[in-house]
Structure formats: C-alpha cells, structure tokens
Amino acid sequence: RQLRNLEKSFGGGVRVCDRTALILDIFNQRAATHEAALQVTLAQMEYQLPRLTKLWTHLERQSGGQVKGMGEKQIEVDKRILRTQISTLRKELESVRKHRKLYRNRRRSVPIPVVSLVGYTNAGKSTLLNRLTGADVLAEDKLFATLDPTTRRVLMKSGTEFLLTDTVGFIQKLPTMLVAAFRATLEEISESSIIVHLVDIRLTMPITH
C-alpha cells in the first residue's frame, strides 16, 4: 500500500518498488542463459506468491468491494498456478544441479586445482579472469553482469596449470529466494581448491564486502 501511495504522489508515471523487487528486476535483465533465466524466474515467482492476496485486496478496495467473491476465488486459482510453476522450475533446476555435479566429478578425476573468484558484485572478477586467461567473458561496469559461472584453464610460466572460475557477484542482504534459486551456481564454489576473495579498493568499506 505504501508503494502505491508513493506512486500516486509521483503522478502515477513512476514505478516504485522495494529493494528485493529492484534486485530481481536487475537479475532478470542480466539473465543471458537458460539456467540463469530459470533461477531468476523461480526467485521472482517465490517473491510474488505471498503478495497475491495483497494485490487482490487492493483491487477490491478500488472497486468498492464489488470483486470480493471473484477476488477470493481468483487468489486461490492464481496461487495454485504459481505453485505448480514453482514446482516445475525447481525440478528443472534440480536437473541442472545434477548435471553440474556430474561435470564436477569428471573434472575431479583430472588432478588440476580449481580456483574460484568470489566477491561483491562489480568488483572486477570477470576482468581479472579475462586478464589471466585471455578469455572474452562479458566484463562491464554494472551490477550483476555475471550470473553464470565461467571456468577457464590457466597455464603459468612455471608450467603449473589450474582452472579459474568466475562466479556470480552478490551484495549484502541479498534476498533469500535469490540465494536459494542460485544454489546450483553457488555449489560450484564449494568444490574449489582455493577461493580468492576479490575486493574493489575503491570501496570506502572494502572489508565488509
């Protein structure tokens, strides 16, 4: 209700949303692969589910209670549809997790250490991976440019080899539904031999990131 009142105060031409909705919108814009799109869509639906009742309550007030009976029925229909879609997405993402696990098991059979780059979003992880490997991974000065982990082989002058993985960058107080949705992606980090926490020195409080 507070958000709608703010929108009215701006003349109705400006969309007002909470922090979670804003982050979900940014993630949705950055999702460039099928896996990332699945994860973002799941998070969006889980965010929407508890808000359906409030939406219909708002419509009921606008119509003077004329949609009360219809609204109550529609809420249940909408919730059922959304829960079915959420269940379907979770099954698809479970398949993604299994596929990634098989890939990690195959990779583990080759004795090459895995180094994962982690850190705050826009800290420069993709840029560092490109510099070290000569890759052409998307690296832009914007939030959440990377939503999918990318792994490249690095050969040092000493002859030592290792795999370098660029991971999803996050922020403080990230919505829990996003963390849960990106579980398959985050599990890549748990299999690392070394985790390198990259910090942007320009930040005023880098230690918190």
Domain ranges of the chain: 2-208
Residue 148: its pLDDT value, please?
62
Residue 33: its pLDDT value, please?
76
For residue 117, the one-letter residue type is L
Residue 142: its pLDDT value, please?
46
Average pLDDT, 10 consecutive residues per value, the chain (209 residues): 64 72 82 80 88 60 51 76 92 85 78 86 81 67 56 84 81 72 72 86 59
Structure tokens at 5: 């009142």
Give the architecture-level CATH label for domain 2-208.
Answer: 3-Layer(aba) Sandwich (3.40)
Residue 177: its pLDDT value, please?
72
Residue 137: its pLDDT value, please?
56
Structure tokens at 36: 């990332």
The single residue listed with the structure tokens 């080759």 is 110
Beta bridge partners of 163: 114, 153
Q: How many CB atoms lie within 10 A of CB 193?
A: 11
Residue 96: its pLDDT value, please?
82
CA-based end-to-end distance of the chain: 33
Q: Provide the pairing of β-strand 194-198 with 161-166.
A: unpaired
Residue 99: its pLDDT value, please?
82
CA–CA separation, 102 and 190 (whole Å): 14
CA 113 to chain centre: 26
Q: pTM score > 0.85 for this model? A: no
Phi and psi torsions of 94, nearest 5°: -65, -35
Residue 35: its pLDDT value, please?
80
Phi and psi torsions of 195, nearest 5°: -115, 120
